[in-house]
Amino acid sequence: SDARIDDLGTPALKIRRGLLLTGELNYTFADTRTQLFAGNLLEDFIRYDITTQVGIRQELADKSVISASHLFSGFTTNVWEDPYLIGADRVETERESTGARLAWSNIADSLWNIKLSHRTYRIDNERSGESQGLSDEEMQLLKRNGNLLQMSVEHQWNISRQHILVPSLVYAQFDLSGEAMSYDSASVHLSYRYHYQRFSVVSNLYFSSASFDAVHPVFNEKRDMDTLGVSFSVFYRQPWGLKGWSMMAGIGYYDANDKIDFFNTQLVNSNVSMVYRF
C-alpha cells in the first residue's frame, strides 16, 4: 500500500515493476540417485512462493523421492514498521524467514506427494500499533514475529499424456507472538496442466479460509479472512529456435476478503519471462 494513509479505512495503492531471477541448480549422482539442489522451484514461483531452498533429494527403489531442505529469504520482503500509522509516511522494515522442509514425492509410485514445512519469521523493527496509543499488552497482541507450520497433500492425475490435474489440500498454522495476528487456515489448490508440442499451459485455482485467535485491539474485532486466487501461464519452448530456452507469459488475480476492511487485499499481476534449462 502507499506509504501514507489518512485513515484506517481508505484503500491504498502501490504499483511496482521489477526483474526477478528464479531457478534451481542441481547435481545428481547417477549411481546412488542422490541429488543436491539450490534455488526456488518454477512451480512455486507460479504460485507466488519465492522462498529459496538448499537441500538434498534421494530417489528410492520404488521410484519415490524423499527430500530435506533449508528454507530462507532469498529475496527481501518489506513490511511497515507500524502499519496503522495515519497522517504521516510509514517506514519500511525487512521481514526475514528461515526454516526447513521435508517432502515425499510419488509415494510408492502412486503420484501422491506430501510436504511439511516450518518457518520462523522475524521483523527487524516491529512497532505495530505504536501510533494508536495502545497499552503494552495491546501492542503485544499485534506482534508479527513467530512461526509457520504448513502441511500439504497432493495427488497428480495423468488424465492423458496432454492433460494433468493436481488437486492439493494445505493446512497452515501461524503461531505468532501476537495472538491477534495468529491464525489457522485450510486451503484447497487445483492445478491443471496441458502440454501440446512446444506449448504448455498451467492454470491454478486457490481458495483458503483463515480464523484468527484474538480480537484486534485497533479495530476491536476478531479477524476472519477468505482468499481466492487464480493464475494462468503459457510456456512456449525454443522461441526463435533458441535451444534450452522457453518463454513464459502469465496473468494472475488474488483477492483476500477480511472481516476487517483494513486488511482487504487485491492483486492483479501479469508477467513475461524467459526460462533457461541446462
> How is residue 1 written as a grid cell?
500500500
Q: Is 49 helix (H, G, I), strand (E, B) or coil?
A: coil
- Sequential DSSP letters for 112-150: EEEEEEEEEEEESS--TTGGGT--HHHHHTT---EEEEE
**495468529: which residue's cell?**
182
Q: Is 17 helix (H, G, I), strand (E, B) or coil?
A: coil
Q: What is the pLDDT along the chain (278 residues), one digit of tens a residue?
A: 788 888 887 655 665 656 566 678 889 998 999 999 998 765 565 555 667 899 999 999 999 999 999 998 877 788 999 999 999 999 999 999 999 999 999 998 899 999 999 999 999 999 999 999 999 999 999 999 999 999 999 999 999 989 999 999 999 999 999 999 999 999 999 999 999 999 999 999 999 999 999 999 999 999 999 999 999 999 999 999 999 999 999 998 989 999 999 999 888 888 888 888 87
Type of residue at 112: W
17: which residues sit within 8 A by CB, 6+ positions away? none
146, 177 Cβ separation under 8 angstroms: yes
Spatial distance between the Cα atoms of 245 and 45, rounded to a whole number of angstroms: 17
Rounded to 10 degrees, the C-alpha dihedral 238/25/172/204 comes to 0
Spatial distance between the Cα atoms of 119 and 57, rounded to a whole number of angstroms: 20
Phi, psi of 136 (to 5 degrees): -60, -40
Q: Is 154 helix (H, G, I), strand (E, B) or coil?
A: strand
Q: What is the pLDDT of residue 143?
A: 97
Q: What is the pLDDT of residue 73?
A: 81
> How is residue 255 written as a grid cell?
483477492
Give the H or E element holding residue 59.
strand 52-59
pTM: 0.86
For the segment 60-91, what is each residue's pLDDT rounded down to a tens digit?
999 999 999 999 887 778 899 999 999 999 99
Q: Is 44 helix (H, G, I), strand (E, B) or coil?
A: helix
100, 68 Cβ separation under 8 angstroms: yes
